[in-house]
Structure 1
Amino acid sequence: MKKVSLILMLAVFVMSAQAQKKKKASDIKAIKDMCGCYEVEFNFAETFSPIKDYEYHDNYQSGALEYVFPVSETKDKIVLQHLLVIGDTMIIKHWRQDWLYENTDLYSFHKDNTWKYQALDKNDVKGQWTQKVYQVDDGPRYEGTATWVHVDGKSYWEAKSDAPLPRREFSKRDDYNVMARENRHEITEYGWLHEQDNQKVLREDEDEEDKVLAWEKGWNTYTKTEDDKCAVAKEWWDEHEAYWADVRTVWDELFASKSTVKIKKKVEDKVLFMQLFDLQDELLAEDYESEKAQKEIKAVIQKYLDSEQRLTMN
């Protein structure tokens, strides 16, 4: 009887391992299905407010041509970079999303350009993927962890994350300081959908409850189009890839410290991405040296760190 029980236990273990391997392969396929050349439509609308005299803001609509592609991939991490294509020649480095399998390290947005490290229990992230979203300068934005779901022919992932104000509002509004996001990424026949159910939150003292100003619906569609439309983006990345790899390396050093990160909004009347973009053009105009680039990138980022955190300059 004991021998039979052991055989059954082994069989169950093998079947479970095979199912987990198959599930992970489906997850990876869904993540990589977000790659390609896309016509993107951004739509946001405030839907409800608990404040009686709240003045609703205008709906936001915009569109763009966007190229999404894998920067790197290992068995437990997939890095996807977004590039905006403007006209026939202009490229703007856009946001980045890293997907990490069963990740236990999270940087959670608190408020006012401050992110706090959070260690997760490995049992709580079993089978889950963390989506780490970064700014155009590869600095932190928001992170969330959840399970990819594959059912009834659908593949989707959804999680809640606190985030700073979106770029469409951060320079226009100061009545709230946290966007409490609920993100859903779903693979569709036309490409993929980024659906959002957000709360615009005013977060003040630690012992006070968050004040919700309004709810917002986001509906961003990524419709696949001909790859040739994004050919200029591929060429641009070939020329700029080394620089942004060094930028990621510098940020990774900071994140590895697991300490609170607070970033100044402006230095010398410039936001961080402007200085990093200027440095990009300067360094790529000469013979590029990674060691020199990382030292200069560190010097720029260090000026924006409003904390005791120090980057090593050697």
Structure 2
Amino acid sequence: MKKLIFLSALAAGALSVSAQTKMDQDRAAIKSLAGYYKVTFNYAETFATDTAYKFFPRYKSWGYEWATIVEDSPKKIAIQHLLVVGDSTIIKHWREDWVYEQPSMLTYEKDNTWKKVNFKPADVKGRWIQKVYQVDDSPRYEGIGTWTHVDGRHEWQSRTDSPLPRREYTKRNDYNVLNRGNRIYMTDKGWMFEQDNNKVLRNANGDKLIAQEKGYEEFTKVDEAKFAYAKKWWADQQAYWKDARVAWEEVFAKNPTLKLTDKIEGKRLYDRLFEVAETSAKEKWSGAKNKAETVKVINSYLKQS
């Protein structure tokens, strides 16, 4: 009798595991990227075609980051990252949207310009696009890849172009495109964002490789208590940024090519939108007001292609 009960339980367990679809596994892996983390940033240039090239110093930094899910539907998961500096400073950091089998995405060209490209259904079947946004929810880069789940390992990778990273975009002008080799995988303590990047100078004659680099951004889980102030801050801000995402989607839909001005009267786009966010929180603006004010600011930074 005991043997029969054991075999029945074993069969039920096997059924439960086999019933988890590939889509379920993908979604579980993506959602596990959310959480409370200490993040370490390590980058080092590894190769250059020009023997006279002087490698730039290695970059190393760290910080605390809360990644919170702000949208969860069957084919889309959006995760907002919030950087915690000290006990009372919060920076709305990058956002990542994961979209399943989307038939198009934005590709980065150069000079703050992105273009929409379309895919055939076969090209996106079973694949996720990771859309990475800057602190003001303007585009940064998008990459497409397939999540794999083998022998207890869960990972996703892509190759795509992006603007210069923030650690270099005010310091260098010898290259203008970062061709990113992105690899995300789960670890025992959190997850790793591993990169194999090409620093490229792009012009009318094509691409010239300036240097290659290796990057590791390690997300290690930490105590949630560190993020009490971040939760309070985000509670006041999240309504505006939800409306801002709607405003940006409207802009994306109307502009197959998106070219953004770097500064207007000394202010970058994120300066202006952060001001709108603060005013919205103080004045308790409605969704329609938030959207209208956000679109107005974004349009002022759009260049005609």
- Aligning the two structures, in what range does the TM-score lie when normalised by the shorter sequence? over 0.9
What's the C-alpha RMSD, in Å, of the aligned pairs? 1.4
Q: Which moved more, 1:89-98 or 1:224-233?
A: 224-233
| TM-score (norm. length: structure 1) | 0.90
**CA distance in 1 between partners of 2:20 and 2:136 (Å):** 35
Structure 2 counterpart of 1:163, one-letter code: S
What does residue 192 of structure 1 align with? Answer: 191
Mapped pair 1:273 → 2:263: no
> What is the alpha-carbon distance in structure 1 between the residues aligned to residue 284 and residue 270 of structure 2?
22
1:141 aligns with: 140
Gaps of 5+ in 2: 1-16
Matched residue type, 1:202:
L
Deviation at 1:287, TM superposition (A): 2.7
Deviation, structure 1 residue 257: 2.6
User: Is this contact kept in 1: 2:179–2:199, CA < 8 A?
Assistant: yes
Distance 1:209 1:305 in 2: 26
AA paired with 2:54?
A: E
Identity over aligned residues, as a percent?
46
- Aligned letter for 1:219? Y
SS at match of 1:167: coil
CA distance in 2, matches of 1:288, 1:303: 21
Q: Which residue of 1 aligns with 2:88?
A: 89
How far apart in 2 are the matches of 1:210 and 1:188? 35
Picking from 239, 243, 264, the partner of 1:242 is 239
1:285 CA drift (Å): 1.4
Conservation of the 8 A alpha-carbon contact between 2:251 and 2:295: no
Distance 1:245 1:307 in 2: 27
In the TM superposition, 1:211-226 aligns within 5 A as 211-226=208-223
Specify whether residues 101 and 291 from structure 1 end up closer, same or farther in structure 2 by C-alpha distance, changes over 3 A only.
same
Residue type at the aligned position of 2:199: K
- How many Å separate the matches in 1 of 2:18 and 2:297? 47
Q: Which region of structure 1 is more displaced relative to structure 2, 286-295 or 136-145?
A: 286-295
Moved more, 284-293 or 102-111: 284-293
2:252 match: 255
State how far apart, in whole Å, the 2-side matches of 1:258 and 1:182 are. Answer: 27
Matched, 1:124 2:123: yes
Contact 2:154 2:186 in 1 (8 A): yes
SS at match of 2:57: coil
Kindly provide the CA deviation profile for residues 69-91 of structure 1, in whole angstroms up to 9, marking residues without a partner as x: 10011000000000001111211
The answer for unaligned runs of 5 or more in structure 1 is: 1-17, 309-314
Q: CA deviation at 1:231?
A: 2.1
* Matched residue, 2:163: 164
1:303 aligns with 2:300: yes
- In the alignment, is residue 175 of structure 1 matched against residue 160 of structure 2? no
Shift of 1:210: 0.5
Give the drift of 1:58: 0.6
**What's 2:101 paired with?**
102
1:21 deviates by: 6.3
20 and 306 in structure 1: CA distance in 2 versus 1, 3 angstrom threshold: farther
* Aligned residue type for 1:276: L
Match of 1:11 in 2: none
**1:178, CA displacement in angstroms?**
0.2
Q: CA deviation at 1:242?
A: 0.9
1:144 counterpart SS class: strand
Q: How many residues align?
A: 289
Name the counterpart of 2:279: 282
Q: 1:230 aligns with which of 227, 231, 238?
A: 227
Paired with 1:138 and 1:186, the residues of 2 have a C-alpha distance of: 24
| Structure 1 counterpart of 2:10 | none
Which whole-Å deviations, capped at 9, do the CAs of 1:203-245 have from their partners, x for residues lacking one?
001xx23000000100010000111111222221111011101
Deviation at 1:190, TM superposition (A): 0.6
Which letter does structure 2 place at the counterpart of 1:108? T
| Matched letter for residue 160 of structure 2 | S
User: Within 1, Cα distance between the matches of 2:199 and 2:19?
Assistant: 37
Partner SS for 1:203: strand
The equivalent of 1:114 in structure 2 is 113
Aligned to 2:291: 294
User: 1 CA distance for matches of 2:92 and 2:217?
Assistant: 18
Q: 2:49 touches 2:211 (CA, 8 Å); kept in 1?
A: yes
- SS, match of residue 21 in structure 2: helix
- Per the alignment, residue 61 of structure 1 pairs with 60
Closer, same or farther: CA 155–181 of 1 in aligned 2, 3 Å: same
1:44 alignment counterpart:
43
How far 1:20 sits from its partner (Å)?
Answer: 9.7
